[in-house]
Amino acid sequence: MLQDMAETQAQNSPDWQEALERIQQVRESGDTRLDLSSLDIPTLPDEITSLARQLTTLELRFCENLSSLQGVQSLRRLTSLNLTWCESLTILTEIESLTQLSELNLRGCDNLTSLSGIESLTQLTELNLSRSENLTSLTELNSLKQLTGLNLSRCENLTNLSGIESLQQLTELDLSWCENLTSLAGIESLHLLTQLNLSWCENLTSLSGIESLQQLTKLDLTDCNGLNDLESIQHLQQLTELDLSYCEKLTSLKGIESLQQLTELTLNGCSNLTSLQGLESLQQLVRLWLDDCKNLNDFEAIYQLEQLGNLSLEQLRFTDVNRFKCFQNLEVLYLNDNKLKDISPLSHLPNLQQLYLKNNAIQDVAQFRQFRQLEDIQLSGNPFARQYNLQLPSSSGDFLDNDLDTIQNLLFRLDDIRADIHLPAKVLFLGNHAAGKSSLVHYLQRGELSEQKDSTHILDIQPYQLDKPASGKKPGKRASTSRLPDALFYDFGGQDYYHGIYRVFMSQQAITYLLWHEESNHNRLEQDSCQRPNRHFTLNYWLGYWHHAHRDYQTLTTDVTKKTPAPTAVEPSQETNESPLVLIQTRADQTKACPIANTPATNQHFISLRAHENSRLQQTGLDYLQAQLDALIQDNQKTVPGATWYGEFLKKILKKHRLSPKNHWKSDAVQNWINDYKPTEPDRALRERHLKTEFSQLHEQGLVLYYPNINPDKVWLNPMAFAHYVHHKVLQQDQIEQDKGQVPESAFNSYDPDILKVLEQEKVIFLHQHGQPKYIIPNYLPLVNEDSAEYRLLTFGIQESFSFNLWFKNYLPLGLINQLICHFGNLPDDKKFWRDQLLFTLGRNHQPEGRTPSQVLIKLKFDDQLQVQVYLSNPDPEQRLLHTRYIYYVISSLYWDLKPCESISDFEPYYQEFQRTGQILLSQEQLQDSKGSQSRKSEHKSEIDSQKTAEFQRIYHAPPADLLISLNGRDFITATQLSRLKDETRLPSVQFSGEPSSGQKLIAVAPFSPFTHRRLHRMLKVFISYSHDDIDARRELQKYLINLERDGLIDIWQDGMINTGDDWHQSITGALEQADVVIMLVSQSFIASSYVHQVEMPKAMTLKEEGKAQIFPILLSQCDYQHWSIIPESVRTHITSGSGQQANSVPMGRFQFFPMNEEEQRLTPINRWQYPEDAWTQVANRLRALSKPA
């Protein structure tokens, strides 16, 4: 009856119905392939047997709860069966009748306890057993004589290859990441082997036997610590591909000269390799990688390899490439992270198409003129980029960036140099509303203080000249119109509803003046000068913003092919040091000067900007401030060679900035500026192409607004006028506020559609198309009033479903709520938006019918502490976990300015793959697009989606350093600690005050699984069931479990812990219901106990059947346990007859008991062991294994 109830429950699930529909579709179409992947089904529907005559391929990937293959035995025509990540499978006996099977994939079936049944599959040619954690022996594969491909990757408990010698048809064998493999004995029999992967087999101390594999063509020995020399592989003369990366004991390549057929050789990270002697003999070599061979100084051998087509020499301190002229066949060259200045010799390589030169010392750009055949070049991190004020992307992907257009445009405008051009420095003024930014800019320009200076709204861009004034005049003045200004001042409005617009104008290469004063140095809601509610932020917040903008906050340095990428905080980059920060405390005449310790600021000033209070001392302070500003401008101003026409072009652009913002907001046609861009060039199309590249660069510098993805033929030359128009016309304050930040789409019909698209792209507005289309303007939404009747009605019940709290000690990105509204606004159903909260439904789309969606409330709290609070209401625990994980991912993506996956169905496959492998693989479509590309460094890397992997590494390996996470709003753990967890089950908590909890309170980490990629260890609640006649055995057991308790892996309950006066029955049953593991100390006294038989065991059986707990029977002494049956508590109430009891009772003899005598391979009671401590230790080790994360 219990089984019937479970089956009925499964058959009512949405996934079960989906499975039936797919079976019916295949039956009706006559297709030979059935895909039930990712469905939550415990067994296969009986209807699958109707496909017995037609089915040849069955896909069951990611059916994580599939525990039985009953029914598959009827599919005798199957030739391919994919069971990847069917983690609940424990046996395979049902497949033994599938004798036509040629392909079987069991990757990730890590709970398989036996391969029994597989021996019948004698036609198998391809078998994947990767990540089979319980695989310790290959003896069960002996009969698979036709096997040609075998994948044993990450079988971590495999220590030897005994039995593999019978698989003599093998041509491909993958043993990568078999970390406990110590011997290759038996491999010498595999004479047909052509591909062998032994990468990351760290404990493999000998390669004995490999020398017999004379047919090998591809061999991967990455991170093989047992490789001291090449003696064992030098006779493998058919090798064409060899990977010796990170073989750190390898000091020479002696013997490699015999591998004459090699076409591809990888030696990355061979840090003790000192010589390449022998390499010169490999005249068939076309691909060679030598990255990060730190002790390699002699490269003479590579200059003999004139046939090379792909060469990588990163992180090798190269300063000279004159000898590279010999590589006449070279097509792809990696020279990132060297010390090169002169790369002109590379221009003599006629076939060079892709050149990677990031982070070198290149200053002279003229040498790039000689490279006419290049298709792809990467140049970020070179001095010339800063010298010419170029914004070059520096992402980690191989193909994500191409700087070719940018460098060609630079050369285009440098073709007819006749003068030096002094480019203006960029000076940003940031801080809270009314901090004094506009007053300071007014003083610096006019040399006088003004009491009537209005606050800036959105943005004011002003030119600044360094001309020294005549004697007796005030310092500083506006820039003249005769030449370019020395600096441009960007005065940003401090109101929080403008923060979303800041991102349009920010860049790293700028001088930043951060103004603050004590009265507004808090995270608090107050009225601005227009009596609008506005939030102030602390100085720490603004410092956090500066760090975030310059990304020296925490930089991820990782190689996606390395074993365990780890986040590392790095020193500020050179570019950061060249982007000075100055702190200014205003109103210093009213409050005490407060120097700030441990900041990256170049200097700190304490000034007053009130004209009537300006004392001589205060004036001296202002003079010093301006003198330092002038010096910083001179230091950061760039003087570049340029044609006269280019200087005139820039002056004409900047002249547009001086026009009235009220009347000059319209865009210009790019066509109208072609005649101003190198007028002497007769090719108009060429000028237009370079002009568009130039506008992209000027956009990055904040001088124009240009969005080629929206309209490549349109540019806004006066950003301040654009911002003024948006603020006063498109987002007209009174009307927008009257509409409460939600405007009918028709109200914007009269505006330029491209302006609306720009505002959408910059997350200033969002078109909500569900129901009546309307534009949402997040910065103008009303602040929430949680005391209102409407709010209480809308959020009724949700606020009782607290999910998690993110506490950012210092900084939250500007406009995060805008981005959240724009992201989740695409979801169906009605939503409610506020400026600081968002209410919506998640999970209505992209999931099987019947799955419960979640009601979600996200709050941004800008009080004394910066918080994101998430409330999520869903009765389905699985859905709640899924949705919590996705929401955290989205928030983290937006924090790092990444583009999150649009839906849960897009995100989950990426997350699952990243959690399992630390990488994200390219889709089949992406692989097809990149097929045949030579710029990838290896076939292994070509399968990796570098961009997505880097994004997930940023989110999960390197969370913000100031982020803490709580599940109850009181006890927080740091996200950084969570990202670095190994075996811990608890972490110290931090209270909201920021101080450690009293008594260093430790909290379990398992519930924090939605916020990490790691598989967290869960502290198991262990219930010990025993007879009081066996109390000594219980005490002995607890002695052996003490280390598991100390390590935080288990929490033991036994009836000796019942306090005086407690209801002992309620205490026992309550502890049982919470148990993850029920240990049974089985003896005849235990079996004879009425309470054990009638209460404890029935409840334990029910918990096991429901999947809530595991049972762990330990045989203390010989007894009649094989004839002992239990009726689970869950079915007892449905049974009235004796025959019903017998039919539904569970025989205890069917369960695995402990301890096992390993020598005799049979169960032996503890009292029969010669050394009982061996038995108890086995029990403790088994329980430790149970505590590992799934």
Which has the closest alpha carbon to 579: 507, 499, 490?
507
Is 39 a domain residue?
no
CB-CB contact of 282 with 256 (8 Å) = yes
> 549 vs 967, which has greater pLDDT?
967
pLDDT band of residue 950 (cuts 50, 70, 90) is confident
Report pLDDT for 518: 86
Is 295 a domain residue?
no
What mean pLDDT, rounded, does the chain reach? 85
**Residue 905 scores a pLDDT above 50:** yes
Assign 639 to helix, strand or coil: strand
Mean pLDDT of 553-581: 45
Assign 266 to helix, strand or coil: strand
Mean pLDDT of 340-362: 96
Mean pLDDT of 1112-1139: 79
Structurally, how many domains does the chain consist of? 2
| Phi, psi (rounded to 5 degrees) for 859 | -115, 130
The CB-side HSE value for 64 (13 A sphere, CA atoms) comes to 4
* CATH classification at residue 597: 3.40.50.300
CB-CB contact of 58 with 69 (8 Å) = no
Rounded to whole angstroms, what are the CA distances from 639 to 187, 384, 648, 861, 870? Answer: 66, 11, 15, 46, 51
Is 961 a domain residue?
no
Instruction: From 642, 662, 684, give the residue that closes a domain.
Output: 642
**Residue 560 scores a pLDDT above 60:** no
CB-CB contact of 872 with 854 (8 Å) = yes
Report pLDDT for 5: 44
Whole-angstrom distance, CA of residue 292 vs CA of residue 315: 5
Report pLDDT for 1093: 94
Looking at the chain, the whole-number percentage of residues with pLDDT higher than 90 is 48
Tens-place pLDDT, residues 66-79 = 989 999 999 999 99
Mean pLDDT of 815-824: 86
SS (H, E, C) 653-722: HHHHHCCCCCCCCCCEEHHHHHHHCCCCCCCHHHHHHHHHHHHHHHHHCCCCECCCCCCCCEEECCHHHH
Tens-place pLDDT, residues 651-690 = 999 888 888 877 788 999 999 999 999 998 999 999 999 9
Instruction: From 610, 642, 674, give the residue that closes a domain.
Output: 642
Q: In the block, which residue shows the tokens 């009220």?
A: 662
This prediction has a pTM of: 0.75
Report pLDDT for 819: 87
CB-CB contact of 465 with 475 (8 Å) = no
- Chain centroid to Cα 429, Å, comes to 33
Which has the closest alpha carbon to 740: 693, 773, 780, 700?
780
Residue range of the domain that includes 595? 421-467+484-571+582-642
Whole-angstrom distance, CA of residue 150 vs CA of residue 628: 69
Is 1036 a domain residue?
yes
- Extract the tokens encoding 942: 């070509």
* CATH classification at residue 1033: 3.40.50.10140
Q: How many CB atoms lie within 10 A of CB 82?
A: 20
Is 403 a domain residue?
no
Is 950 a domain residue?
no
Instruction: From 614, 642, 670, give the residue that closes a domain.
Output: 642
**Residue 479 scores a pLDDT above 50:** no
**Residue 916 scores a pLDDT above 80:** no
**35-40 LR contacts (CB < 8 Å, sep 24+):** 35/59, 36/60, 36/63, 37/61, 37/62, 37/63, 37/82, 38/62, 38/63, 39/15, 39/63, 40/13, 40/15, 40/64, 40/65
- Extract the tokens encoding 203: 């404990």
Report pLDDT for 569: 34
Report pLDDT for 497: 56
Report pLDDT for 574: 41
**Residue 939 scores a pLDDT above 50:** no
Report pLDDT for 764: 83
Handedness of CA 465, 698, 662, 489 (dihedral sign): negative
Whole-angstrom distance, CA of residue 553 vs CA of residue 1002: 28
Is 225 a domain residue?
no
DSSP 303-322: GG-TT-SEEE--SS-----G
pLDDT band of residue 1130 (cuts 50, 70, 90) is low
At position 94, the amino acid (one-letter code) is E
Count of residues for the chain? 1190
| Axis-axis angle for helices 1031-1040, 1172-1186 (nearest 10) | 60
- Extract the tokens encoding 523: 């995270």
Q: Minimum mean pLDDT among 35-44, 722-731, 1164-1173: which range?
A: 722-731
**Residue 726 scores a pLDDT above 90:** no
Which has the closest alpha carbon to 303: 311, 291, 295?
311
Is 849 a domain residue?
no
Report pLDDT for 1142: 58
- DSSP annotation of 854 reads E
pLDDT band of residue 530 (cuts 50, 70, 90) is low
What helix, strand, coil percent values describe the chain, rounded to 5?
35, 15, 50
Tens-place pLDDT, residues 832-862 = 989 889 999 998 765 555 578 899 999 998 8
- Chain centroid to Cα 730, Å, comes to 37
pLDDT band of residue 478 (cuts 50, 70, 90) is very low
SS (H, E, C) 557-576: CCCCCCCCCCCCCCCCCHHH
**Residue 1122 scores a pLDDT above 50:** yes
Q: How many CB atoms lie within 10 A of CB 512?
A: 24
Assign 447 to helix, strand or coil: coil
